[in-house]
Amino acid sequence: MTPLRRYLPVLTAVLVVVLLQVALSAAGATYYLTQLTMSAYYALVVIGLCLLMGYAGQVSLGHAGFFAIGGYTSAVLTTCNLSAFGQTSWITSCRWLGMLAERRDLYGASILSFAPWAGFLAAMCLAGIIAFLIGLPILRLKGHYLAMATLGFGLIIYRIVLAAPIFGQADGISNVPPFPLPFGLEVNGRPAFREQNYYLAWALVMAAMVLAVNLVHSRVGRALRSIHQGEEVAHSLGINTYRYKLATFVASSLFAAAGGVFLTHYNGSIGPSEVTVMKSVRYVAIVAVGGMANLWGAMLMAILLNFLSLRGVMGTYDDAVFGAILIVIMLAAPDGLLRLPRWRRPMHFLSRRPHG
């Protein structure tokens, strides 16, 4: 595949993103940008899950858990108060590394906690390590058994979040500070930062898409697809199937954790509703609607469905709608909505061919 062919959809997407912002600003409806920004962070989870499910063929019903590990780790580290530890040597060395940030709370008291970038690194490391340790035993399982094991993992994370005081129990964690970035940019949910954050989130999604698309078209991507289409054969051709499945599991959990970190700093809070099993089901449903092995379809659907959900279009039936979507897709269009005959031509252009 020529580079132009591979990256043309990226350029198209960038153009659409810019046009959307310009149009919404001209119409004075910039509040839509907030939900689009949040949808973009959810799209990160979906892109990772699409690699795992659509390409490597391994299902995960625990990705909300990785999203939460990312979000909560960063939230805890950037809201904890280290003032009590004052001048101990590890505080001093953390300060010397620039890992600490000082701010004032509502009442003017000084709070010393970890800087968001340190929280981000810790969150990614933790999510990666947990994914590795969990994946080590459960990726020996296949099909329904793997689905159940990942479901169990998601449930455990949910119960931990709900039970542990450090995670704020049912209240979650609020007052998470904004995430300052180089060049004066900031992941911040306040209206003044709306346009900036819309572009930041989309830059991240596009970066994730480029990484994912590259991977899919590489030697490793072919190996992943071959595992999906015939694991025993792939193994006999010299592909270390177990190692690739594990690596994809870890990579996709890192995508989810990154989404969790940034959305938490954007919203300024995270709560247990992000960790429910229905969130995991929602991600799976979106990948299915997008066409499983179709990164662009999955991304498009992630934006569309999350946007509708965040706008409250589905009302209190939110979870029911996503459950129903999953059922309908499995019955009526197992290759995804975008592979129905009328969509085949435009999608064929985007993804060149259906890789199952």
Partner 1 sequence: MDDILLETRNLQRFFGGLHAVKDVSLKVPRGTIQAVIGPNGAGKTTLFNLIAGTLPPHDGQVLFRGRPITAWKPHAIAELGIARTFQTTRLFPHMTVLENVMVGRHPRTRCGFLAGMLNLPRTWREDREIQSSALAILRDLGLEGLADQTASNLPFGKQRLVEFARALATEPTLLLLDEPAAGLNIYETRELASLILRIRQRGITCLVVEHDMSLVMDISDDVAVLDGGQKIAQGPPRAIQSNPEVIRIYLGDNHA
Residue ranges that bind partner 1, judged by CB under 8 A:
211-212, 214-215, 218-223, 225-226, 229-230, 232-241, 247, 251, 353-356
Separation of alpha carbons 27 and 40, rounded Å: 21
**Least distance (Å) between residue 223 CB and partner 1:** 6
Q: Please, which residue, 265 or 355, has the CB nearer to partner 1?
A: 355
Question: Based on CB atoms, which residue is closest to partner 1, 3 or 108?
Answer: 3
* Torsion sign, CA atoms 267, 270, 271, 277: positive
Residue 51 or 134 having the CB closest to partner 1: 51
Instruction: Tell me the backbone φ, ψ of residue 52, rounded to 5 degrees.
Output: -70, -50
User: If you ran DSSP here, which 8-state letter would residue 270 be given?
Assistant: B
Distance in angstroms (rounded) separating the CA atoms of residues 249 and 46: 13
CB of 39 to partner 1, least distance (A): 23
- Indicate the SS3 state at residue 285: helix
DSSP 8-state assignment for residue 177: P
Of 212 and 329, nearer to partner 1 (C-beta) is 212
CA-to-CA distance for 293 and 56, rounded, in angstroms? 9
Closer to partner 1 by CB, 95 or 222: give it: 222
Instruction: Name which of 60 and 73 has its Cβ closer to partner 1.
Output: 60
Name residues whose C-beta falls within 8 Å of residue 228's C-beta, 6 or more positions apart in sequence.
Answer: 55, 56, 57, 293, 356
Query: Which residues have a Cβ under 8 Å from the Cβ of 271 and sit 6 or more positions away?
Result: 168, 170, 171, 172, 173
Tell the smallest beta-carbon distance from residue 232 to partner 1 (Å).
Answer: 7
Minimum gap (Å) between residue 217 Cβ and partner 1: 8
Cβ 227 to partner 1 shortest distance, Å: 9
Report, in Å, the least distance between residue 266 CB and partner 1: 25
Q: What's the closest the beta carbon of residue 38 comes to partner 1, in angstroms?
A: 25
* Pick 161 or 212: Cβ nearer partner 1: 212
Query: Long-range contact list for 329-332, CB < 8 A, 24+ apart?
Result: 329/285, 329/288, 329/289, 330/288
